[in-house]
Amino acid sequence: LEFAGFRLTGKQFAAIPADARDWRWSEVLGLYLGVANGQLRYFDEAGQLVPTPAEAAKWEHQQREQERQRAEQERQRAERLAQRLRELGVEPD
């Protein structure tokens, strides 16, 4: 996949030069445009890929699922500790 970018300067379009990565900086967007995995994508000033809405939603879902699993593991751990205290004759509450 190849692409070119142009910027309107006055009444003429001027080509946006590519950097060493073959990305082009959009002053309007404040982002780079470049090719990643055969797709035209946005990159921030640090060169980090800007996720698509679908990618962002998937990442958020994964984060929530990991947090849910951590909370469940902690609940199970607390229950095991409470059971052990009861076995020792101590009421955990």
The H-or-E segment that residue 25 falls in is strand 24-26
pLDDT the model gives residue 74: 97
CB 81 within 8 A of CB 92: yes
Residues 29 and 55 in one domain: no
Residues 15 and 36 in one domain: yes
Residues 65 and 81 in one domain: yes
pLDDT the model gives residue 36: 95
2/80 Cα distance (integer angstroms):
59
pLDDT the model gives residue 58: 97
83/38 Cα distance (integer angstroms):
55
Q: How confident is the model at residue 1 (pLDDT cuts 50, 70, 90)?
A: confident
Average pLDDT, the chain: 95
1 in a structural domain: no
pTM of this prediction? Answer: 0.68
67/27 Cα distance (integer angstroms):
38
| Residue labelled with tokens 């809405």 | 53
